[in-house]
Chain A
Amino acid sequence: QSVLTQPPSVSAAPGQMVTISCSGRSSNIENNYVSWYQQFPGTAPKLLIYENNMRPSGIPDRFSGSKSGTSATLTVTGLQTVDEADYYCGTWDSRLSAGVFGGGTRLTVL
């Protein structure tokens, strides 16, 4: 069981918006930065969002992140079929002195 909680799957039609939630506690999400990763089958994860809402160079602005208290959210607008992938949230847990991830969310673009 993952320390951070994500929905197993979300889906939406092309062009629509989808949100993926990530729930934790004060020792992880509330007091540390949250990152989001995108992973296609058979490939390494890719950093999508860092420091809650910042995008690395090359990441489209269709992807955005936010955080409030012990929860974080990844929002994808203008969905495209190429966005079909697994998405993971991650952060550091100060109480555990350990990295933590959510269980992952499979995004399906209908």
Chain B
Amino acid sequence: EVQLMESGGGLVQPGGSLRLSCAASGIIVSDSYMNWVRQAPGKGLEWVSSMYTGGTTYYADSVKGRFSFSRDNSKNTVYLQMDNLRAEDTAVYYCARNRLYYMDSSGYLDWGQGTLVTVSS
């Protein structure tokens, strides 16, 4: 059974930083196409970032230059480093795994429970 467990959310001031973690079990993250998806309160889903098995990353324009997706194979964990946070980054952040590691549009099959990030002074 695949399990994705996010952590690291919390309250941070505008301009601050936070690092989210997504610990995986039942899969090997380095063999998986991993993603971060967020959902602002009362709003829809928004794709944030993706990482291929080879380590190539993609980012939404809204977070490019501020967020960084990384991976620790020894801990089977992926991370989202979020810097220069803004109020509009307030959301529940989900870690999700593509159904197929080699296909961008194969669908997000496995999801974590999400972690809430609140950016406010």
Contact = CB atoms under 8 A, between A and B. Distances in A.
Interface string A53-96: 00010000000000000000000000000000010101110100
Interface of A: 2, 32-35, 37, 39, 44-47, 49-51, 56, 86, 88, 90-92, 94, 97-104
Interface in B38-72: 44-47, 50, 58-61
Given A99-B47, A101-B46, A32 B105 contact: yes
B106 A51 contact: yes
Smallest CB-CB A-B distances: 8 pairs: A99-B47, A50-B107, A35-B107, A92-B104, A32-B105, A104-B44, A92-B105, A44-B111
B106 to A, nearest CB: 6
Contacts of B58: 97-98
Contacts of A103: 44
Given A91-B105, A92-B105, A45 B94 contact: yes
B45 A90 contact: yes
Contact of A104 (B35, B45, B104): B45
A56 B105 CA distance: 15
Nearest to A100: B47
